């Protein structure tokens, strides 16, 4: 090192070093051994010996370091960048880092960094020197906790690194990059307005709703949000208790649903519905850890502070089984041209057939020698109770209905579904009462016959001899119909009947 030019080494104090080992007796005077002295003094401090340090003063106050240190440290990069607008994260935090082109003195850095307005929490500064990283040998982190700085929304911040910050060699910061050290660097940035937290707008079923089901399944649970949610965080945040039968699956995303733009849907695996147990109170929670696609956490209770849970509950119960439709319809007059006629009663769910058979009466009674039979057939959205005599004759018709009669079919309220719920015969929402169906029968209006061939227009008719007759009480004796009832469909006398 050169001798100082215009600089004066000033010794403030000294201790008697004669008790130390000769090798460690190093002169405390003179610049040539300055670095060696620093090392030595450090060891003295480590040994509990307190001494005064010499410091350098300058005749030229604008250039407070020795001229051999013209290589003043510069700030080469900042996070946030200069004059930027900063989005604070979920915790109102932002990462603040300042990168220097020199290794910097940690101690000087502690007193050189000032942030205004002052954050609510205590500000810390950590200096990390990395001599192996020649591009960015020193980075300081300014933080309040977890390496991030908690700031306020909608504020103009400035972070000053004073010109008193110095590098490892003692050269002071050239904050304004004019080639001279000892002046401040100022980073200014603005924090953005408070973000809109994600929250739950509504749910289906609604909170506190009673869900009445015909079976052990209901539509999946829908949760609608004000913002698009990040599916994985939402899936991890949603729970339903008790666990639905066979577990549950959650999907989240955009929707065309008029109920909301963004939703989560909870349903059962291998189903679009949710398998539940009627008579159960369910609770659904979306934890505050659910995040939107911007990374902001849920404001579950909607109070403007995020990171709290949303919870709602609903109950389930069985609806009593109900009848959705019948053939014939209530009060219908049936043109009984075919001797037989279908009687169908559609239930909203599968019924216990034994209980129906015990509860079923038809008046006047069916007198077919084949006896009256019943069965339940699953259709698209109903279970159809079919009354019939003999399947091979006519798929599902009840025969020997009398023309000109008034029929009454009754199913008592003792009929029940597979879960033991009694029939709601009068469809008032409460089970245990009778269902009654009335209809009348009349003879067919007309049909025509050519030779032995019956042809009917609009109606099905029976044939007697060579003529068509509406008298279904007689047989068709000719042309293979002898002894049998027959009816003609679109043409001919095609179907035998016992
Ligand atoms: Ca400068
Ligand atoms: Ca909240
Ligand atoms: Ca009822």
**Structural domain boundaries of the chain?**
8-57, 70-191, 200-318, 323-442, 448-497
| Distance (Å, whole) CA 164 – CA 190 | 26
* pLDDT given at position 336: 64
| Distance (Å, whole) CA 78 – CA 359 | 84
Ligand nearest to the CA of 199: 2
Three-state secondary structure readout of 41-102: HHHHHHCCCCCCCCEEECCCCCCCCCHHHCCCCCEEEEECCCCEEECCCCCCEECEEEEECC
Question: Domain 70-191, what fold?
Answer: Immunoglobulin-like (2.60.40)
Strand partners, 346: 325, 384
Cα end-to-end distance, the chain, whole Å: 128
- 321: CA distance to ligand 3 center in Å? 10
- 72: CA distance to ligand 1 center in Å? 9
CB atoms within 10 A of CB 112: 23
Strand partners, 485: 497
Ligand nearest to the CA of 286: 2
- 182: CA distance to ligand 1 center in Å? 6
| Distance (Å, whole) CA 214 – CA 184 | 76
CB atoms within 10 A of CB 391: 13
Name the stretches of the chain with pLDDT < 70: 1-70, 336-340, 390-400, 443-498
* pLDDT given at position 395: 54
- 76: CA distance to ligand 1 center in Å? 14
* pLDDT given at position 193: 94
DSSP, collapsed to helix, strand or coil, labels residue 353 as helix
- 137: CA distance to ligand 1 center in Å? 20
C-alpha closest to that of 447 among 487, 399, 483, 479? 487
Ligand nearest to the CA of 306: 2
Same fold, 200-318 and 323-442: yes
- 147: CA distance to ligand 1 center in Å? 29
- 297: CA distance to ligand 2 center in Å? 10
Ligand nearest to the CA of 177: 1
- 430: CA distance to ligand 3 center in Å? 4
Q: Which helix (H) or strand (E) holds 448?
A: strand 448-450
- 298: CA distance to ligand 2 center in Å? 8
- 240: CA distance to ligand 2 center in Å? 20
* pLDDT given at position 201: 96
pTM of the full predicted structure? 0.57
Torsion of CA 135, 136, 138, 140, to 10 degrees: 170
| Distance (Å, whole) CA 59 – CA 192 | 46
Query: What are the backbone dihedrals phi and psi of residue 172, each rounded to the nearest 5 degrees, phi first?
Result: -85, 155
CB-based contacts of 171, cutoff 8 Å, min separation 6: 65, 69, 71, 72, 73, 102, 181
C-alpha closest to that of 47 among 22, 13, 24, 31? 24
- 389: CA distance to ligand 2 center in Å? 67
| Residue 464 tokens, joined | 């007697």
- 63: CA distance to ligand 3 center in Å? 99
Kindly list the protein residues that place their beta carbon closer than 5 angstroms to ligand 2, a single-atom ion. Answer: 299, 301, 303, 305, 308
- Scored b (16 or more CB within 10 A) or e, 154-184 reads eeebebbbbbebbbbbbbbbbbeeeebbbbe
- 328: CA distance to ligand 3 center in Å? 21
- 179: CA distance to ligand 1 center in Å? 6
- 396: CA distance to ligand 3 center in Å? 29
- 225: CA distance to ligand 2 center in Å? 14
- 461: CA distance to ligand 3 center in Å? 40
Ligand nearest to the CA of 427: 3
- 329: CA distance to ligand 3 center in Å? 19
CB-based contacts of 27, cutoff 8 Å, min separation 6: 33, 37
Question: Domain 323-442, what fold?
Answer: Immunoglobulin-like (2.60.40)
| Distance (Å, whole) CA 250 – CA 269 | 9
- 60: CA distance to ligand 1 center in Å? 14
Ligand nearest to the CA of 304: 2
- 305: CA distance to ligand 2 center in Å? 4
Angle at 379 between CA 377 and CA 385, to 5 degrees: 35
Kindly list the protein residues that place their beta carbon closer than 5 angstroms to ligand 1, a single-atom ion. Answer: 174, 176, 178, 180, 183
Ligand nearest to the CA of 62: 1
Ligand nearest to the CA of 310: 2
- 207: CA distance to ligand 2 center in Å? 18
Question: Domain 200-318, what fold?
Answer: Immunoglobulin-like (2.60.40)
């Amino acid at each position: 090192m050169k001798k100082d030019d215009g600089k004066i080494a000033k010794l403030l104090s000294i201790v008697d070093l004669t008790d130390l080992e000769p090798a460690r007796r190093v002169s405390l005077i003179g610049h040539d051994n300055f670095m060696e002295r620093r090392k030595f003094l450090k060891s003295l401090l480590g040994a509990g010996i307190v001494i005064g340090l010499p410091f350098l003063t300058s005749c030229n106050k604008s250039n407070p370091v020795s001229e051999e240190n013209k290589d003043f440290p510069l700030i080469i990069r900042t996070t946030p960048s200069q004059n930027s607008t900063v989005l604070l994260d979920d915790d109102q935090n932002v990462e603040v880092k300042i990168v220097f082109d020199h290794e910097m003195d940690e101690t000087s850095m502690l007193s050189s960094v000032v942030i205004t307005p002052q954050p609510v929490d205590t500000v810390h500064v950590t200096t990390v020197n990395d001599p192996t990283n020649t591009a960015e040998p020193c980075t300081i982190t300014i933080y309040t906790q977890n390496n991030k700085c908690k700031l306020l929304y909608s504020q103009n911040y400035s972070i000053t690194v004073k010109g008193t910050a110095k590098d490892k060699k003692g050269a002071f910061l050239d904050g304004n990059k004019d080639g001279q050290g000892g002046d401040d660097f100022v980073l200014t940035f603005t924090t953005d307005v408070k973000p809109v937290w994600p929250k739950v707008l509504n749910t289906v079923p609604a909170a506190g709703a009673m869900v009445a089901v015909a079976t052990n399944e209901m539509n999946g649970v829908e949760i609608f949000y004000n913002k698009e949610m990040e599916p994985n965080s939402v899936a991890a945040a949603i729970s339903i208790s008790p666990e639905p039968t066979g577990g549950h699956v959650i999907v989240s995303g955009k929707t065309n649903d008029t109920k909301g733009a963004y939703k989560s849907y909870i349903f059962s695996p291998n189903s679009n519905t949710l398998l539940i147990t009627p008579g159960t109170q369910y609770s659904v929670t979306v934890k505050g850890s659910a995040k939107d696609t911007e990374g902001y956490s849920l404001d579950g209770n909607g109070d403007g502070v995020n990171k709290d849970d949303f919870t709602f509950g609903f109950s389930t119960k069985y609806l009593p089984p109900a009848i959705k439709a019948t053939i014939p319809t209530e009060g219908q007059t049936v043109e009984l041209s075919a001797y037989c006629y279908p009687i169908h009663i559609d239930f909203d769910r599968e019924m216990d057939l034994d209980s129906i058979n015990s509860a079923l009466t038809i008046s006047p009674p069916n007198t077919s020698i084949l006896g009256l039979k019943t069965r339940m057939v699953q259709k698209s959205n109903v279970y159809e109770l079919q009354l019939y005599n003999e399947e091979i004759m006519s798929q599902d018709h009840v025969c020997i209905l009398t023309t000109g009669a008034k029929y009454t079919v009754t199913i008592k309220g003792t009929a029940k579904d597979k879960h033991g719920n009694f029939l709601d015969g009068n469809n008032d929402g409460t089970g245990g009462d009778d269902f009654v169906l009335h209809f009348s029968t009349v003879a067919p209006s007309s049909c025509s016959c050519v030779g032995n061939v019956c042809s009917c227009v609009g109606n099905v008719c029976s044939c007697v001899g060579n003529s068509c007759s509406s008298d279904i009480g007689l047989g068709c004796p000719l042309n293979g119909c002898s002894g049998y009832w027959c009816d003609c469909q679109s043409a001919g006398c095609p179907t035998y009947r016992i």
